[in-house]
Copies of this chain bind each other. A is one copy, B any other.
Amino acid sequence: MTRPSGRTPDQLREVRITRNFTRHAEGSVLVQFGDTHVLCTASVEEGVPGFLKGKGQGWLTAEYGMLPRSTHTRMAREAAKGKQSGRTQEIQRLIGRSMRAVVDMTALGERQLIIDCDVLQADGGTRTASITGACVAVHDALQGLVTRGVLATSPLRDWVAAISVGVYQGVPVLDLDYPEDSECDTDMNVVMTGSGGFVEVQGTAEGAAFSRQELNSLLELAEGGIGKLVALQKQAVGK
């Protein structure tokens, strides 16, 4: 088995994390997993939605979008169609849950973090790149609150990163790109914390059902990949 990219089964694509990619957001990160490029911003707003008012805790929500021509053939613009697809909603809910797992809402206080992940160029794995980049954007936005004296310490309790794994031509491989993704029998997205706990595990049999043993191999690959991603996140912020 040879991967279309020539990578070894447990090899990540080249990952780059560029901070302060745009000016206005409190955290702004361009994350690149090979040819998948996502702009992740974290915005801080004072106040929380109505159902949380007066409860002394913060809130975090996430939105996701793809630029119409981030893909091989142009997709219709969701704003023009007047609705977000089921896939978009599924992904933005996943990003939100992943980030809420590592932010201490009580320490955040009555303010809101809004994460926007917008795909500039897609080549598979946009949701895992989004989570990995968003965590750095959230780090920067929260650090900004500390720097400006709003908070004494950052409410970010741990790192969180995500990677896809799948069975390609019978072999478990890490970090699927688009040519692999479209031919995989089994496809799994794994979200883990820096300290090695699972936040989300989502595996789907695209063709034949998968066995417990395949599941185990895929989880091991993912654990290794996420360890490397967290190291890159720390390096990006100079830790």
Chain A residues in contact with chain B, CB under 8 A? 22-25, 28, 35, 37, 39, 41, 43, 45, 63, 65, 67-74, 77-80, 82-84, 86-90, 92-93, 97, 101, 114, 116, 118, 120-123, 188, 192-193, 195-205, 208-212, 215, 219, 223
For residue A37, give the distance in angstroms from its CB to the closest CB of chain B. Answer: 7
A209 near B63 with CB under 8 A, answer no
**Residue numbers in B under 8 Å from A87 (CB-CB):** 93
Task: Tell me if B205 and A199 are in contact (CB < 8 A).
Answer: yes
Q: A196-B211, A202-B202, A212-B223 are in contact. List 11 more A-B contacts (CB 8 A).
A: A22-B70, A24-B72, A24-B73, A39-B67, A41-B67, A43-B68, A63-B80, A65-B77, A77-B79, A101-B209, A193-B209
Q: Are A198 and B210 interface neighbours, CB within 8 A?
A: yes
With A74-B45, A79-B84, A93-B90 as contacts: A68 and B116 at CB distance below 8 Å: yes
**Residues of chain B contacted by A41 (CB below 8 angstroms):** 67-69
